[in-house]
Structure 1
Amino acid sequence: MNLKAKHPQESYTVMNELVLPNDTNTLNNLMGGRLLHWMDIAAAISAQKHCNRIVVTASVDNVSFKQPVKLGDVITIEARVTRAFNTSCEVRLDVWAQNVPSGSKVKSNEAYYTFVAVDQSGRTIPVPELKPESPEEIELYDGALRRRQLRLILSGKMLPNDALELKALFSS
């Protein structure tokens, strides 16, 4: 397996979906569960492109629903790996809703998903390192460690005193 470090653009994924009647609730707004499903697919594609392996969803966090998405809107989901750890990687998603006839486009959602790379037997395997270059990539990369520590604390897998990156935010 190739564990050579990768640039974030190598895993960048864009997915488009048209919001149809079966995707909406009684107010003709996109159902949140349907959007989460599409986001999971886009994030998994991005993670698989980075890892060159099968990945499984480990966590979904910080999903923000900012704007309702309407029937007939076109959804664009942008997914990119922000950081790779030993056997996992974090993926950032930005979701845009566009009303094609009016030309209006708004950011409707954002989220972070975590995926774990596995072999054919379902055992975790190492993932390639990520090498951020642009200021935005570096900011997302640095923040990923703090987000990971928070996820681990909330899931009971890390003690708050062990979260050195998070503690540094409050002790300066």
Structure 2
Amino acid sequence: MASATKFYDFAPLDKKGQPVPLEDYKGKVVLIVNTASKCGFTSQYEGLEKLYKDIREKHGDSFQILGFPCNQFAGQEPGSEEEIQTFCQVNYGVTFPIMGKSDVNGANANPVFEWLKQEKPGLFGMKRVKWNFEKFLVGKDGKVKERWASTAKPESLEKAILVELAKAEPKA
């Protein structure tokens, strides 16, 4: 695992291969989702985008979704970075950032996901992502607050996100 010990220590790559310092999201609520374009859960992009727009309409940029395309589950994200971006925008009108394609399990797993899985193991303490569209909620304090399985519909996450948004800013 990387030497980073806090959410804000990471700088995953964006769709162009440029590092995105998660420090930029300090004091914000962030939903991290591993995504795929050819999955039974792909239609969740629509719900994620609605959730993103609805919450940002009331809370501004205090809320962020970051999608991480992953091809580790039955090869359901085979496209190039450009193809993935086009697919998300054309088919679902996605406006939240879709990051660079990443592994979420195994030796080449994105360090962000290694950290997320350590902080919030899954069912029975499982320290791996089970399938596409697993979701992790990071609070304003940079701690993982919730983890949801692929089957959790985006609209069902709203209450937990709003609870985190209502919390006071962490002391520096």
Q: TM-score, normalised by structure 2?
A: 0.26
Q: TM-score, normalised by structure 1?
A: 0.26
**Larger relative contact order (Cα-Cα within 8 Å, sequence gap ≥ 6):** 2
